[in-house]
C-alpha cells in the first residue's frame, strides 16, 4: 500500500506525518461552528436540503434488542421512507450490527432496494476492545453476509496513549480485508478523544491508512457529533484533498435528531469542505429518529400545515 505517499508504514514516518499537522484553534472552531449554525435557510433551499438530508441518512438500529423483524421494518422504511409519497428519496444505507447484515441485505433486495447499502458496525463495536484476530473475523463475517460498508471503531485506548501505529495498522488491515467489496468508515468516538487536536490527528491518521469515510461517533457516548467536531473533520478532509486530490467522506452520527440539526450539518459541509461534498457518497448522517422529523418537515412544506408523528412510522 502506498498511503498516498504520505507515510511509509513505519512508526517513525507516521509520527513525522502527524506531528507536522497544525493545531486546531479551539475557540475559533467553536465560534465558527456556532456562527454557521445561525445561517437562515429559505424555503426553496430548505426543501432541497431536506431531500438531500434524507438521501444522506444512514438509518441506524444498534440495540441489543434488535430482531430480524425490526431490521426488516427498518429496511422497508429505508427504501421508501414515506409510503404515501413516492417522491421521497431512499436513504443512503441501513446501519446494523454484523449478525443482522444478512437479514438486511436479503430484505432490501427482496423489496427492490438494491440501491440501498448495508453498513455493518465492526471491530468489536462500540468499544473496540478485542484482539486483532477477533476484529478481523468480525469484519469478515459482515463482508461475507453482504455488507457494502464497514463502520469500524478505532482503539481509543491505543490512540490516547500515543500508540498511533497500532491504530494505523488496524485500519490498514481492515482496509485490505474490505478490498473493493466494501467502503470503509472509521469511527473515532470523538467524545472520548477529548481535544480537537486529537480529532484532527485521528482524521489524518485514518485518511492516510485508507479510510473512505471518517465518522464521529458510535452513538453510544455523549457528546457525539457536535458542530465544532464535524467542522474540524470537514477541515481535515478539505486539507487532505488539497494534499492528495482524494475526497474522503465524513459521517457525523449521534445527537442529530431534527431537521434543524441536519440542515446545520449541510451548511457546515457547504461552507467548510465545499459543495462537492454535498452528495451521499461523501457525506452521511448516522441517525434513527432524524428521518421521521425530516419527513414531517417535508409534509409541512408540501401541505402548508404542521404534520403529526401519528402519520410516520414508529421506530
Residues binding other proteins (CB under 8 A): 304-311
**Dihedral over Cα of 248, 278, 30, 192: its sign:** negative
Q: Note the Cα 1 to chain centre separation in Å.
A: 24
Active-site residue, selected from the candidate residues 77, 135, 201, 251: 251
CA proximity to 58, closest of 103, 114, 120, 113: 120
**Closer Cβ to other proteins, 230 or 307, answer by number:** 307
CB 190 within 8 A of CB 210: no
Q: Is 220 a catalytic residue?
A: no
**Closer Cβ to other proteins, 5 or 304, answer by number:** 304
**Closer Cβ to other proteins, 45 or 127, answer by number:** 45
CB 71 within 8 A of CB 96: yes
Please tell me whether residue 253 adopts helix, strand or coil conformation.
strand
Longest dimension (CA), the chain: 61
Q: Is 215 a catalytic residue?
A: yes
CB 294 within 8 A of CB 259: yes
CB of 81 to other proteins, least distance (A): 18
CB of 274 to other proteins, least distance (A): 30
Active-site residue, selected from the candidate residues 215, 261, 264, 293: 215
Active-site residue, selected from the candidate residues 151, 155, 212, 261: 151
Q: What is the distance between the alpha carbons of residues 121 and 142, in angstroms, rounded to a whole number?
A: 8
The three cell numbers locating residue 136: 478481523
**Closer Cβ to other proteins, 211 or 299, answer by number:** 299
CB of 306 to other proteins, least distance (A): 4
Q: What is the distance between the alpha carbons of residues 233 and 89, in angstroms, rounded to a whole number?
A: 27
Q: What is the distance between the alpha carbons of residues 182 and 207, in angstroms, rounded to a whole number?
A: 16
CB of 305 to other proteins, least distance (A): 3
CB of 300 to other proteins, least distance (A): 9
Q: Is 251 a catalytic residue?
A: yes
- Measured in degrees and rounded to the nearest 5, phi and psi for residue 204 equal -70, -35
**Closer Cβ to other proteins, 182 or 307, answer by number:** 307
Active site residues: 151, 215, 251
Amino acid at each position: 500500500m502506498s498511503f498516498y505517499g504520505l507515510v511509509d508504514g513505519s512508526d517513525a514516518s507516521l509520527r513525522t506525518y502527524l506531528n507536522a499537522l497544525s493545531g486546531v484553534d479551539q475557540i475559533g472552531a467553536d465560534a465558527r461552528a456556532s456562527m454557521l449554525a445561525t445561517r437562515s435557510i429559505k424555503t426553496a433551499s430548505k426543501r432541497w436540503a431536506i431531500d438531500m438530508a434524507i438521501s444522506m441518512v444512514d438509518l441506524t438500529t444498534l440495540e441489543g434488542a434488535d430482531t430480524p423483524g425490526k431490521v426488516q421494518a427498518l429496511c422497508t422504511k429505508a427504501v421508501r421512507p414515506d409510503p404515501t409519497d413516492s417522491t421521497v428519496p431512499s436513504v443512503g444505507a441501513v446501519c446494523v450490527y454484523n449478525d443482522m447484515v444478512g437479514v438486511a441485505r436479503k430484505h432490501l433486495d427482496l423489496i427492490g432496494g438494491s440501491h440501498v447499502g448495508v453498513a455493518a458496525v465492526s471491530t468489536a463495536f462500540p468499544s473496540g476492545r478485542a484482539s486483532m484476530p477477533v476484529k478481523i473475523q468480525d469484519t469478515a463475517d459482515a463482508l461475507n453476509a453482504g455488507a457494502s460498508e464497514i463502520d469500524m471503531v478505532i482503539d481509543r485506548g491505543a490512540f490516547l496513549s500515543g500508540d498511533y501505529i497500532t491504530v494505523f495498522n488496524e485500519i490498514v488491515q481492515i482496509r485490505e480485508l474490505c478490498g473493493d467489496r466494501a467502503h470503509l468508515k472509521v469511527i473515532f468516538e470523538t467524545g472520548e478523544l477529548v481535544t480537537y487536536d486529537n480529532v484532527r490527528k485521528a482524521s489524518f491518521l485514518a485518511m492516510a491508512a485508507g479510510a473512505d469515510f471518517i465518522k464521529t461517533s458510535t452513538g453510544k457516548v455523549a457528546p457525539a457529533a457536535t458542530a465544532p467536531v464535524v467542522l474540524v473533520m470537514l477541515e481535515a478532509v478539505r486539507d487532505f484533498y488539497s494534499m492528495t486530490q482524494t475526497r474522503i467522506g465524513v459521517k457525523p452520527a449521534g445527537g442529530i435528531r431534527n431537521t434543524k440539526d441536519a440542515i446545520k450539518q449541510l451548511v457546515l459541509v457547504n461552507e467548510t469542505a465545499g459543495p462537492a461534498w454535498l452528495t451521499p457518497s461523501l457525506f452521511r448522517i448516522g441517525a434513527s429518529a432524524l428521518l421521521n422529523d425530516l419527513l414531517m418537515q417535508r409534509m409541512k412544506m408540501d401541505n402548508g400545515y404542521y404534520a403529526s408523528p401519528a402519520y410516520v412510522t414508529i421506530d
